[in-house]
Amino acid sequence: MRHALVAALLATSMFSLPATAHAQAMSAEEAAALRAELAALRTKVETLEARLDQASPPPVATPAPAPAPAPEASATQIKWKGAPEIKTADGWSFKPRGRVQVDAAYVGAPGAITDPALGFSNELRRIRMGFGGTIPGGFGYKVEADFAESDVVLLDAFMTYDDGPLKLTVGQHNSFQGLEELSSSNDTSFIERSAFTDAFNFIRRAGVSAEYSTGALLLQGGVFTDNFTALDSGNDGYSFDGRVVYAPKAGKTQLHFGGSAHWRKLGDTVPTVRYRQRPLVHSADIRFVATPNMEADAETGFGAETAFIRGRLHGAAEAFWQSVDRPGLADPHFFGGSVEAGLFLTDDTRAYKGGIFKEVHVKNPVSDGGIGAWQINLRYDHLDLNDAGIVGGKQDGYMASLIWTPIDYVRFMINYARLQYHDAVIPAGGDRDYGVDSVGARAQIVF
């Protein structure tokens, strides 16, 4: 704007000069007058520029745009782990949980044995529903019930408190019986656990327990009463249970060594015990080995366990000795144990954490065009219920299983077992030593 005004002034002044200055040669006087006029014009121009500079405001620098504020982290997060898990920034969380297991089975025995439980059977083995989560301050909770039977059976109902390596639990929960019993039924190698775990009545009980974990060492112990169902009937039994686990890593191999001890005082309401077991599958309501009801004051049990995982291969072995304190009579000592080995045919591995086996995470699920995880397992299972005048029978099981896990949270299993019995409680004619074939299959979804 300033330069345009100056140019206009110059043009006006030039056109106001005498025309003769352009048309003919100027005299000396005229040249001197022209120079004086140009000097005066320069002065006017400089004065005008100074006035324009004073009148024009200084240029205003355009500020750089402020950076957009970073989006704040959401106070509530929802993740999918088979079911939605809701977490807040201050430590609250909630997740529904459950499982559905549908079983079918066939049990074939010698023709001399007639029982409606033989042949084909099926059942809803487990329909569990519940929820669990965390509470600010290191607290947690879990409640789960089973709806598979005609009555609703409360399984887990407890609260926890975590403080670094220490964990306290109050309520109904497992009492540290052993590796396979503490591992979820979602993750076992066979359709049912080893025979001794059911025979010796390993169940959840109400109590208070503590766990301490440091490095490869895990210590567990607690004081328990009875299961909530038994407590409703007035049972006043109690028990002391403990377990120690040492689980080091040897290169790429996860090792596991453990032992447990249990002492249970029977209550006055139910002062008897009985040990028995089905032929691998649960839907066949028949027992070829079983003790009679025994009046008892107490039970004492000791367990030993070992396992390893290396890549696709795993192995495990457990043994358990159970004795019964019978007032005025000889105390019987019973035994059960199993040895198993498993191999993944796909590039998968069995998981392990906190002293138990965990769920398989499929590397190539069918949802991504893969074939899922395929696993085969072999097991020898032994149960001896003969001692001190008690003839409950002996069972030797030779078992195989095939497991397909197409995606996380879904699993299909098929098992075969050849069960050899000695002193069976169900005679085949006059024979108490014979073999039984058992086949079981399961479809399972977990959330």
Give me the phi and psi of 66, to 5 degrees please: -65, 140
- Output the pLDDT for position 376: 98
Give the span between the Cα atoms of 189 and 350, in whole angstroms: 10
Domain ranges within the chain, ordered by starting residue: 2-21+30-54, 97-123+169-446
Question: Which of 21-25, 168-172, 307-311 has the lowest average pLDDT?
Answer: 21-25
Specify which residues 422 forms β-bridges with: 394
What span, in angstroms and rounded, lies between the C-alpha atoms of 316 and 328? 39
Query: Which pLDDT value is given to residue 267?
Result: 83
pLDDT of amino acid 145: 96
- So what's the pLDDT on residue 30? 67
CA angle (62 as vertex; 60, 67 as ends), nearest 5:
150
Q: Looking at per-residue confidence, does 293 or 3 come out higher?
A: 293
Torsion angle (degrees, nearest 10) of CA 338, 341, 346, 347:
110
pLDDT digits (tens, 9 = 90+) for 362-405: 999 999 999 999 999 999 999 999 999 999 999 999 999 999 99
Separation between Cα atoms, residue 50 and residue 57, nearest integer Å:
13
Rounded distance between C-alpha atoms, residue 183 and residue 193, angstroms: 10
Task: Tell me which H or E stretch contains 210.
Answer: strand 205-214
CB 441 within 8 A of CB 105: yes
For position 28, what pLDDT does the model report? Answer: 65
- pLDDT band for 81, please (50, 70, 90 cuts): confident
The model carries a pTM of 0.81
* Cβ neighbour number for residue 299 with a 10 Å cutoff: 20
The 3-state secondary structure of 235-290, one letter per residue? CCCEEEEEEEEECCEECCEEEEEEEEEEEEECCCCCCEECCEECCCCCCCCCCCEE
pLDDT reported for residue 351: 97
Q: How far apart are CA 223 and CA 11, in angstroms?
A: 111
Pick the CATH number of 97-123+169-446 from 3.60.110.10, 2.40.160.10, 3.40.50.261, 2.60.120.260: 2.40.160.10
Q: What's the token pair of residue 110?
A: 């010698």
Share in percent of the chain as helix, strand, coil (round to 5): 15, 50, 35
Residue 230 above 80 pLDDT? Answer: no
Q: What is the mean pLDDT of the segment spanning 357-363?
A: 97
Q: Please write the tens of the pLDDT for every residue from 430-447.
A: 999 999 999 999 999 999
Residue 63 φ then ψ, to 5°: -70, 145
